[in-house]
Every structure is written in C-alpha cells, then in structure tokens.
Structure 1
Amino acid sequence: MAGLKERFQAFVNNRWLVFVAAMWMQSCTGPGYIFGSISPVIKSSLNYNQRQLSKLGVAKDLGGSVGFIAGGLCEILPIWGVLLIGALQNLIGYSSLWLIVTGKVPVFPLWAMCVLIFVGHNGETYFNTAALVSCVQNFPKSRGPVVGILKGFAALSGAILTQIYTMINFPDQASLIFMVAVGPTMVVFALMFIIRPVGGHKEVRPSDGLSFTVVYSVCLLLATYLMAIMLLEDLVSVSHNLITIFTLILFVPLFIPIVLSFCEGHRDPAEEVLLPKPYQHDAGNPEQDTREHEVVSSEFKDENPEEVDSLVVPEGQKRIAQLQAKLFQATAEGAVRLKNRKGPHRGEDFTLMQALIKADFWLIMFSLLLGSGSGLTVIDNLGQMSQSLGYDNTHIFVSMICIWNFIGRVGGGFISEIIVRDHAYPRPIVIVVAQLVMAVGHVFFAMGWPGAMYIGTLLIGLCYGAHWAIMPATVSELFGLKKFGALYNFLNLANPAGTLVFSGVIASRIYDREAEKQARQHHIQSHISGSIFSGMLAADESLNCEGSICFFLSSMIMSGFCIIAVILSMILVYRTKTVYAHLYGKSCIRYQ
C-alpha cells in the first residue's frame, strides 16, 4: 500500500503530467480564434457595420492581450486560483454576449458590448499565463518545444470547438457562443489543480528527446486528422452519425501523451545517477531553488567554460565551490575587481522596467505588432473575407487557419530549437522567413484568385503561429525566466495594437467605403428598374461588400508592413548573434 501511495504521489507531481494537462486545457480554451465564425451572426443580429464589428474585434484582442493582472496574480496566488478567475471571466463575458445575440436580454450599447467581450476573452490570458509559467519552469531547458506546443494547442482549440459544435448540431450559429462560454470553463475546473510548477529534476534527460518526439507526432496526427475531416465535411455531404464518429475519434490522440507521465516514473537508474540532486524548495516559488546555484555557476562558466563544462556534474559542482572560495579570497586581497554594472546583461533575469529600456525588447515588440498584428487582422476578418469572395461556409476557413496556426506554432518551436541547439544561430532568424512568407500570403488575399482563400489561409496561419512559438522563447532567453509572466503579457499587447491599426483603422474603413459604393450602385440600378422599396429595405440592413476589391488595398498595405517587420527582425538577429553564441555555442559543439 505504501509503494502504491508513493507511485501515485510521484505520478501527481510528475512534470509530464502537468505538461499533458496544460495541453488538454489549451486545446479547448482559445475561443478568440473562432471570432471569424461568430462575427457574421453578431453582425447580422445586432445590425452592425464593419467598422462597429472591427471595434468589437479590437476589444476582443485587447482582452486576450492584457495579461498583466494574470502575470501578477501568478506570483501571489496558487495557479489553481489564477485559473479559477480566468474561468469565471470566460463564463460571464461570453454567456452575456450569447444572451444579447439571441435576444434573451435587451441589446447593450456598443461600448458595453466591447466590455463584455473584453472580459470574456481576457480569461484566456489567465489560462495561457498559468500554462506557460508552470511548464516553462518545469522544463527550463526545453523552452522552444514547450512554448510552441502549448501555444499551438491554443490555436487548434478553434478547430476543435468548431468540430464539436458541428457534432452537437445546434439549431443556430449563435449557439457557438454559448459553447465557447461553457466548454472551456468546464475543462479548466477539471484540470486546475493539476497544472502547477512541480519540484524534482529539471535538467535535460536523454529520454526527453523521445518524449517530445511522441508529443510532436501526436500534434501532427491530430492536425492531419482535423484537416482531413474538415475538408471531407466541406466537400461531401456527410451524415450526422458519421460526424459524431469523426468527433469522438478526434479525442483519442489527446489521451496518447498521458503515457509520458508513466514513462518518466520508471527511470533508468544509470540516468538518475548522472542527474544533479534536486533542491528542496517551496512549490509556490519555484525559481527560488536554483537561483543561488545558477548565479554561481554562470559566473564561473563565463570565466572557465571549458574547464567547468568538461567535468561530470558532481565534480563540476565541487569545482565551482572551490572557485567560489578563491574568488572571495582574491576579492579580499584586492586581486580581483568586481564590476559595478547598471542592470543585468542580455541572457540574465530582467524585470519588466529593465527590459523596457532595451532596444532588443522594442525590436521584438514592433516586429510582432506588424507581423502578428496583420495576421490576426486576417483571422478576425476571415468570415467577411470568405463571404466577399462568394463562400457561404465560413467555418471551414476559420477551422483551417486554426489548424495551420497550430502547425506553425509547433513547427516554429521545433525548427527554431534545431537552429539554436545545433548551430547556435539566433532564434528570430525563423521569424524573418515567416514574415516574408506572410507578406506573400497577404498578396493572395488581395488578388482573390480562384483558390486564393485556401492558399492565403495556409500561409497566414503558418506564419502567424510561428510568431507566437518563437518570440516568447526569445524573450525568455534574452531577458530571463524570473519575470517571464510580466514580459510575456506585455508582449501580448502587440496583438491588439496591430489589429487596432490594421483592422480598426485601415481594413474596416476600406471595407465600409467599398460596401457603400456598391450599395449606391445597387440603389441606382434598382431605382432605374423601378424597384422603389429596395433602397428602403437596404437602409435597415448591415452593409456587405462583394468581390476581391473589399480587402485588396488593406491586404497590400499589410503586405508592405510585413516587409518592414522583416527588416526589424533582421536587425534583431544581427544584434543577438553574440548572445546566442554564448548561450548555445558550447551545447552546439557538444551535440556535434
């Protein structure tokens, strides 16, 4: 009985169990990505024009990006408390929106609607922050894959929720809003006591490579399966029973990674001996256990990298202790002058205020604003884009861009990790390529060629996802893990800032202008043909634009700004070459 209890305790405190639970939570707590599916019903039910709908979208993006409160609460509350607050916000915000859209309560003013969707979508920042802070602290040596996988599942949640909505076969499209309010809340309630920083070994194990390979395989299997059934349902008339079977099969891959939790519980004794003894620490302050050791080891590894790194771990720690004693003695004798530095150097732990005065941080911020902001503008307006080109079923493109977004996040984390580990190149070099491809994707949307929606969705989805796998990992490498929650949530402000400019100011104004032109032409033609009442009826309807002209100019403008983002990212790559060579140069030699 005692052995069973110990095994259960080890299972509950397993970092892989936390990672799997975080993946499950992220897979259904990203409702912001299906705004393109719910925006048409909001527009028609509330009689909004495109500019009003864009304001609602900007409020949604702002709610999903203002995570300072979530980041601050992670430092003073247990993770389950942070998740509870986020779940309640999600439930209150989206359920209120559903009641208004369905006419069960009176329509609120636009500013109040913006507040509601802000509150609802702000709950996602609590989910993201709790998952990332917990898992990055549990896997400090595998930040790229961890961030990419978790952010990828958040993107995939839009496609998963849409497929569940299709299976349940709700009577109207507004029911998707109800499902967004209730579904994520139930999942968070079920998992909130599992997701947390845990103790134990956090060094890289030989078995970690195989474990991450399994997770990547599950990710690709899940994305491929989702893409296949989405295309099948779009191209062929599928019975509801078959849709139900497809959806139930969808959940099978989500249970495969749980095997990882059992696998790490049975470790090879030879592998265990090589790992350093874990520090005793308070679970509520996970970085406290390694701070002193990291400070000492980093100082002497900088001075004697070959000497320290060539030692076996226990001998290396003993050597570091000897060097520390020599340092104190030399300092007392005046033989060593300690430098008085103003703030930390790149690669060390920064506070948010210290990071805000660094040029690298603002290069990341503006590169994200232009690249990610333009991509999110496409995601938010995908419903109107597809309708303007004559597609009736907007759900297929929203689901597809969620899947490509997912693959971009997972693939971006995987490729960038290879680049930094094997070659010690700066991680943002992948962003340079992604932003170039994104510029091409905007051109496809602008031209409106046959099949351009499918190609543009693929390119924008992949490249937008790559941004949010690579940039958070880059920030953690350049500015440390100590205040990662605050740094990450400040970085999130790039999304609403970008959509405020691209969607709220540029795209919506151009769309409404073209829609008004088409409405006037239609009114003139109707008046000539003798239809007196058509103009009166059109006045009571929301304006809709048809044709590629609706988003041509705005897409070309966003393509141009993506080129500017490429230039900013190249400057960042140039400035951080020495930092990445210092961080990963020795590991690069070791892996060769």
Structure 2
Amino acid sequence: MAEVRSRVRGFLRNRWLVFVAAMWMQSVAGVGYLFGSLSPAIKSSLGYNQRQVASLGVAKDLGDSVGFLAGTLCAVLPLWAALLIGAAQNLVGYGWVWLAVTHRVPVPPLWAMCMLIFVGNNGETYFNTAALVSCVQNFPKNRGPIVGILKGFAGLSGAILTQVYAIMHTPDDAALIFMVAVGPTMVVIALMFIVRPVNGHRQVRPSDGTSFTFVYSVCLVLAAYLMGVMLLEDLVGLSHSLTILCTIILMVLLLVPIVIPVMLSFFSNDDESAYTALLTSPRREEASGSVSSEEQEVILSEVDEQKPKEIDLLPASERQKRIAELQAKLFQAAAVGAVRVKRRKGPRRGEDFTLLQAMIKADFWLLFFSLLLGSGSGLTVIDNLGQMSQSLGFEDSHIFVSMISIWNFLGRISGGFFSEIIVKDYAYPRAIALATAQVFMAIGHFIFAMGWPGTMYIGTLLIGLGYGAHWAIVPAAASELFGVKNFGALYNFLTVANPAGSLVFSGIIASGIYDYEARKQANHNHSTLLGMVSDVAPALKCEGSICFFISSMIMSGFCIIAAALSLILVHRTKIVYTNLYGKPRT
C-alpha cells in the first residue's frame, strides 16, 4: 500500500502529466479562432452591420494579444490562481455576450460589447502563459518540441471545438457562444492544480526521446484525422450518428498521451534521482575549487569581451577549443588574484532577464521585428482568405480555412521539432529555422500574387506551415536568450507583434489595395451605378489575381526582410548557443 501511495504521488508530480494536461488545456484555449463562427450569430441577433462586427474583431485580436497582465500575474501568483482568473474572464466575457445575444439581459452598447469580447478572449492569454511557463521550466532542455506542441494544440483548438459543437445538433446559433463560455472554463478549472512547475529538470530519463516521438506520432495522426473529417463534412456530408462517432474518436486521440505518465509512474522502476547528475553544468564541475560560483559566471562574461574577434571565424571545434583555453586562463588568474574580474551590470545572454532588461538588447528587437514582419503577413492571409479565394473564382472558402488551420498546426509541430535538432545536434542558433520558415512564406506570398492554377492550395500550404513555425521557434528562442524566470512577460510582449503586423498589412495595405481595385472594376463594369446613392449600391467586390497582387508582393518582400533580420540574429547569438548546447570537451 505504501508503494502504491508513493507511485500515485510520483504520478501527480510527473512532468509528463503536467505536459499532457497543458496539451488538453491548449486544446480549448484558442477560442479566438472561432470568432468567424460566432460573429454571424452576434450580427443577426443584435442587428450589427459589417463595420460594427469588424470592431468586435479588433477587440478580439487585442484581447488575444495583450497579455502583459497575464505574464505579470503568472510570475507573482501561483499558476492555479492565474488560471482561475483567466477562466473567470472567459466565463464572464463570453457568458455576458451569450446573455445579450439571447436577449436575456438588455443589449449593451457597442463599446461595452467590445469590452466583453476583449475580456473573454483575454482569458486565453492566461491559459497560454501558464501552459508555456510551467512546461518550459519542466523541460528546459526540450524547449522547441514543448513550445511547438503546445502552440500547435492552441492553433488546432478551433477545429476541435467546432467538431465538439457539431454533435450538439442544435439550430440555435447562439449555443456556440454558450459552449465557448462554459467549455474552456470547465476544462481549465479541472486542470489548474496539475499545470505547474514540478522540478521537471530533475526528472530526465533515457526514455524521454521515445516519449516525444510518441507525442509527435499522436499529433500527426490527429492532424490527418481532422483533415479527413473536415474533407468528408465539406464534400460529402455526414449523418449525426457518424458525426458523434468521429467526435468520440477525436476525444480518444486527445486522451492517448496520458499513457506516458501512467507508464513512467506505475510500470517503470527508474529512479528519477539517478539522472539528476546528467544535468550538472560541466563548466562548473571543471572550474577551480578556489573560484566562487559567482566569479565563474562573471568570468564567462569576460570571455565574450576579451576573446579576439577572429575566434568567431574559426571552425566550431577549433573555436570551442580556443574559448575553453581562454576560460581556463581566466579561472586560474582569478584564483590566484592575478587579475581583477570586472563585474558586468545586468545578466548576459542565456541568463534570466526582466522585460525591461531585455528591451535594451538589440537581439530582443531583432526577434520582435522579425516576428512582426513574418507572422503579421501570415495572419493577413488567414484573415483575408475568404476574399482571396473568391477573387480567384472559388465560391466556398471553407475548405481553405480548414486546410490552413491544419498546416498551421503542422508548422508549429515541425518548427519545434526541426529547430530542436538544429540546437541539440549542431549547437546552432534556433533563429536559422525561423529564417527558413520566412523564406517559405515569401515564396507563398509570391505564388498568391501570381494567381497561377493551384495557387490557393500551394499558397495555403506554405503560408500555414511558415506562420505556424513562428510560434514554435520564437518563444523557445526567447527563453534561451533571455531565460525562463520572466518568460511569461517576455512571451506576452512578443505576441503584440502579431496584431501589430496584421494591423498594418491587413488593415491598411491589403484592404486599401483591395478596395481600390474593386472600385476600379466597379467603375469600369457598372458605370450606370455611379449616380446611385451609396446606401443602395452593391458591396464592392474584386475579381482576379490583381486584387491581392501588389499586397502579396509587398508581404513577400517583408518576409525577405524578416529572414535577413533572423540571419543577423543568428550571427550575433552563435556563441550563446555554443555555450548552451555545445558538447563538453573530453
């Protein structure tokens, strides 16, 4: 009995249980992706026009991205308390919207509805921050896969929630708003005491590689399954009984990863303490006993200042050898008092930064603007996919929306996977994977601009994969360069780049050019409408590849600039990744 209790306690403290619970929480966290399905019910019930609905959409984007408060609270409060605040915001915000739409309460003015949407969607930032902070701290040596998988499930949550809603089989469109208000709240409250740091860095096991492979396999099966179900529903149509069966299979696939912590806790005899020694820093073990740990950290900073610049141009093996020799000389000199070690103000890259400390570093802003240009252009395509497909002659854009959601998910998974290989096997900066994704996006935008046959299929593939990869690579790179202690605040500041880029690219460039081309076509084809009153004139509609030619070419150029910024970051941070992931000398 004592052994059973011990194993149960070990199960509850297992970092893989935390990771699986975070995956489940992220599976319902992306409520913002459902706004396109919520807005018709709000528009028809409250009598809003398209401009008013667009205002609600802006409030939704702001709520999804302004996470400064969530990042701060996750740093000062227990994570369960921060998650409870997020769940309360989700319930109050979307719950009040549901009450207004169903006329159970007086309809608030538009500004109040915007505030309710903002508050409800802002709860998502607490879910994202708590999941990422806890799992990055529990898996400090596997940040790429962890961030990629968690952000992937957040991106897939819209498709998951839509599939769950399909089994309700109700003609009441407002029922989806009720599900969004109650469903995620219930899931988060059920999991909020599980998602937390559990000293996961002391739970390294030889089977971790196999466990990640299993999770990746589940992710690929889940993506393929959802793609198949979406295609069947769009092209063939499924009966209610088959829809229920498909949803049950979906739930089973989501539950499968729980076998990892169960197997490790109840069917494994490995003692986690046996692997703690693997985590000891080789540099500190090799350091002279007469040099304090504080001096060791300062000396490592001295290396960056005193090493000749030509060392960075040497091959990796020779560069590591020369740096190690310089470190040894500084350690020896400091031990005998032959040199006075200078004290640097503030942390060095790879240590824990506060947000203000990070904001005075060039590397932080290179990462921010690279994300702004890359993800902002990708979000512009996602937001305008309906108009883009219609301009190229497709009457129904739903299939492309579903496809780009799946590619977005796979981009997040593969971005974390391949960037982890780069840093682990080659000790090379993770930003090189970001630059590669941005080159793919530049090609995708160019294909959209050309309007060739198959453009929508190839373009959504490249843009979806590239956009998704940003959200696996950037948070992991930020935690490596600026530490995990204040990761919540750093991550939520970086996410502001997403709506900022979309505001410029979609709200100003793409929409302005589209309306200009639509007016040109309207003046050419319907000259008799020039004298009509604008209230009765038909909505402007643009046809042909010209509608998004200029804006797509502009965004392709911005992606090239983003890739250049990422390459500059690669050059500046090579030494950081050598210190973090470089193989110790034998």
TM-score by length of 1: 0.83
Q: Cα gap change, 1:410/1:209 in structure 2, threshold over 3 Å: closer, same or farther?
A: same
Within-5 A mapping of 1:439-454? 439-454=442-457
Q: Which residue of 2 aligns with 1:61?
A: 61
- Which whole-Å deviations, capped at 9, do the CAs of 1:465-523 have from their partners, x for residues lacking one? 10010011111111111211111111111012111211222223334444555666776
Q: Cα gap change, 1:203/1:194 in structure 2, threshold over 3 Å: closer, same or farther?
A: closer
Q: Which residue of 2 aligns with 1:494?
A: 497
Matched, 1:159 2:159: yes
Report how far residue 379 of structure 1 moved: 2.1
Q: Cα gap change, 1:22/1:7 in structure 2, threshold over 3 Å: closer, same or farther?
A: same
**Is 2:139–2:200's contact at 8 Å kept on the other side of the alignment?**
no
- Which whole-Å deviations, capped at 9, do the CAs of 1:369-426 have from their partners, x for residues lacking one? 0101111122233344445555454443333222211111111000000011111111
RMSD: 3.5
Q: Which residue of 2 aligns with 1:72?
A: 72
Give distance in 2, aligned partners of 1:401 and 1:212: 25
**Is 2:301–2:348's contact at 8 Å kept on the other side of the alignment?**
no
Give distance in 2, aligned partners of 1:524 and 1:45: 36
Q: Which residue of 1 aligns with 2:567?
A: 570
Q: Which residue of 1 aligns with 2:197?
A: 197
Q: Which residue of 2 aligns with 1:463?
A: 466
Q: Cα gap change, 1:526/1:339 in structure 2, threshold over 3 Å: closer, same or farther?
A: closer
- Which whole-Å deviations, capped at 9, do the CAs of 1:340-389 have from their partners, x for residues lacking one? 21222211221111111111100000000010111112223334444555
Which one of 559, 563, 580 corresponds to residue 583 of structure 1? 580
Give distance in 2, aligned partners of 1:100 and 1:248: 32
Report how far residue 332 of structure 1 moved: 8.7
**Is 1:407–1:465's contact at 8 Å kept on the other side of the alignment?**
yes
Report SS of the residue matched to 1:251. Answer: helix
Q: Which residue of 1 aligns with 2:478?
A: 475
Q: Cα gap change, 1:564/1:330 in structure 2, threshold over 3 Å: closer, same or farther?
A: closer
Q: Which amino acid aligns with 2:486?
A: K
Report SS of the residue matched to 1:64. Answer: helix
List alignment gaps of at least 5 residues for structure 2: 281-291, 304-326
Bigger shift: residues 227-236 or 421-430: 227-236
Give distance in 2, aligned partners of 1:48 and 1:545: 24
Q: Cα gap change, 1:256/1:221 in structure 2, threshold over 3 Å: closer, same or farther?
A: same
Within-5 A mapping of 1:320-331? none
- Which whole-Å deviations, capped at 9, do the CAs of 1:2-61 have from their partners, x for residues lacking one? 332222211111111110000001011112223344456656766767666555433322
Between the aligned residues of both structures, percent identity stands at 68
- Which whole-Å deviations, capped at 9, do the CAs of 1:156-194 have from their partners, x for residues lacking one? 111112222333334255543333222211211221111
Report how far residue 273 of structure 1 moved: 2.8
Q: Which amino acid aligns with 1:369?
A: L
Bigger shift: residues 550-559 or 216-225: 550-559
Give distance in 1, aligned partners of 2:68 and 2:482: 17
Q: Cα gap change, 1:521/1:56 in structure 2, threshold over 3 Å: closer, same or farther?
A: farther
Q: Which residue of 1 aligns with 2:221?
A: 221
- Which whole-Å deviations, capped at 9, do the CAs of 1:261-297 have from their partners, x for residues lacking one? 1222254447753434999xxxxxxxxxxxxx98688
Bigger shift: residues 409-418 or 558-567: 558-567
Q: Which amino acid aligns with 1:57?
A: G
Report SS of the residue matched to 2:492. Answer: helix
Aligned residue pairs, count: 550
Report SS of the residue matched to 2:499. Answer: helix
Matched, 1:426 2:429: yes
Report how far residue 69 of structure 1 moved: 0.7
Q: Cα gap change, 1:526/1:277 in structure 2, threshold over 3 Å: closer, same or farther?
A: closer
Report SS of the residue matched to 2:366. Answer: helix
**Is 1:438–1:460's contact at 8 Å kept on the other side of the alignment?**
yes
Q: Which amino acid aligns with 2:385?
A: L
Higher relative contact order (CA 8 A, sep 6+): 1
Bigger shift: residues 351-360 or 26-35: 26-35
Q: Cα gap change, 1:243/1:394 in structure 2, threshold over 3 Å: closer, same or farther?
A: farther
Q: Which residue of 2 aligns with 1:273?
A: 274
**Is 1:54–1:503's contact at 8 Å kept on the other side of the alignment?**
no
Matched, 1:147 2:144: no
TM-score by length of 2: 0.84
Report SS of the residue matched to 2:347. Answer: coil
Report how far residue 449 of structure 1 moved: 4.3
Report how far residue 555 of structure 1 moved: 2.6
Q: Which residue of 2 aligns with 1:253?
A: 253
Report how far residue 256 of structure 1 moved: 1.4
Report how far residue 149 of structure 1 moved: 0.8
Which one of 352, 371, 379 corresponds to residue 349 of structure 1? 352
Q: Cα gap change, 1:536/1:490 in structure 2, threshold over 3 Å: closer, same or farther?
A: closer
**Is 2:95–2:177's contact at 8 Å kept on the other side of the alignment?**
yes
Q: Cα gap change, 1:133/1:459 in structure 2, threshold over 3 Å: closer, same or farther?
A: same
- Which whole-Å deviations, capped at 9, do the CAs of 1:290-328 have from their partners, x for residues lacking one? xxx986886788999xxxxxxxxxxxxxxxxxx9xx98x
Q: Which amino acid aligns with 1:131?
A: A
Within-5 A mapping of 1:114-129? 114-129=114-129
Report SS of the residue matched to 2:207. Answer: helix
**Is 2:139–2:201's contact at 8 Å kept on the other side of the alignment?**
no
Q: Which residue of 2 aligns with 1:235?
A: 235
Report SS of the residue matched to 1:168. Answer: coil
Q: Which residue of 2 aligns with 1:89?
A: 89
Bigger shift: residues 134-143 or 576-585: 576-585
Q: Which amino acid aligns with 2:16?
A: W
Report how far residue 150 of structure 1 moved: 0.7
Report SS of the residue matched to 1:237. Answer: coil
Q: Cα gap change, 1:398/1:39 in structure 2, threshold over 3 Å: closer, same or farther?
A: farther
**Is 1:68–1:486's contact at 8 Å kept on the other side of the alignment?**
yes
Bigger shift: residues 443-452 or 191-200: 443-452
**Is 1:149–1:410's contact at 8 Å kept on the other side of the alignment?**
yes
Give distance in 2, aligned partners of 1:40 and 1:547: 27
Give distance in 2, aligned partners of 1:464 and 1:186: 30
Q: Which amino acid aligns with 1:255?
A: L
Report how far residue 579 of structure 1 moved: 1.7
Matched, 1:553 2:553: no
Report SS of the residue matched to 2:340. Answer: coil
Report how far residue 560 of structure 1 moved: 1.9
**Is 1:36–1:379's contact at 8 Å kept on the other side of the alignment?**
no
Give distance in 1, aligned partners of 2:503 and 2:54: 8
Give distance in 1, aligned partners of 2:297 and 2:268: 29
Give distance in 2, aligned partners of 1:413 and 1:278: 22
Bigger shift: residues 541-550 or 422-431: 541-550
Matched, 1:402 2:399: no
Which one of 355, 360, 365 corresponds to residue 362 of structure 1? 365
Give distance in 1, aligned partners of 2:56 and 2:550: 22
Q: Which amino acid aligns with 1:4?
A: V
**Is 1:141–1:204's contact at 8 Å kept on the other side of the alignment?**
no
Report SS of the residue matched to 2:20. Answer: helix
- Which whole-Å deviations, capped at 9, do the CAs of 1:65-84 have from their partners, x for residues lacking one? 21111111112221111111
Give distance in 2, aligned partners of 1:104 and 1:544: 37
Give distance in 2, aligned partners of 1:100 and 1:549: 41
Give distance in 2, aligned partners of 1:218 and 1:179: 26
